[in-house]
């Protein structure tokens, strides 16, 4: 039985390439949303894949081919809580 895996991927990118990387990532089917951030990382993407094997393939086959990405850190989501506004709708 495969269990879907959700994760946040944090990206360090070449200076000035944040928007281009964010837009490129947003075109990938597995990506829900990308955000440009201030701080240690430049871009964050929330993704969903079918299982851990698919996560490995996604990282190796798609993310590593995105130009201007210098470093990534993947955080698998263990549990997620919705904000009050989302719970009421």
Q: What is the pTM of this model?
A: 0.90
Name the residue range of residue 21's domain: 5-79
Q: In what order do the strands lie in the sheet with 43-49?
A: 31-36, 43-49, 5-13, 69-76
Residue 65: DSSP 8-state: G
Asked, for residue 87, whether it belongs to a domain, the answer is no
Q: Residue 87: which pLDDT band, with cuts at 50, 70 and 90?
A: low
Question: Based on the structure, what is the number of domains in the chain?
Answer: 1
**Domain with 52 in it: what CATH number?**
3.30.70.920
Helices (H), the chain: 18-26, 52-61, 84-88
How large a percentage of the chain has pLDDT more than 90? 85
CA distances from 52 to 26, 56, 77 (A): 21, 6, 12
The pLDDT assigned to 85 comes to 76
The pLDDT assigned to 24 comes to 97
Q: What is the pLDDT of residues 35-66, one digit of tens each?
A: 999 999 999 999 999 999 999 999 999 999 99
List CB contacts of 73: < 8 A, sequence separation 6 or more. 9, 10, 41
């Amino acid at each position: 039985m495969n269990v879907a895996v959700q994760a946040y991927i944090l990206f360090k990118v070449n200076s000035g390439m944040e928007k281009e990387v964010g837009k490129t990532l947003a075109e990938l089917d597995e990506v829900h949303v990308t955000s440009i951030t201030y701080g240690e990382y430049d871009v964050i993407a929330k993704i969903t894949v079918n299982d851990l094997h698919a996560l490995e393939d996604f990282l190796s086959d798609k993310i590593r081919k995105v130009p201007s990405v210098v470093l990534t850190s993947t955080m698998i989501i263990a549990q997620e809580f919705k904000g009050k506004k989302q719970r009421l709708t």
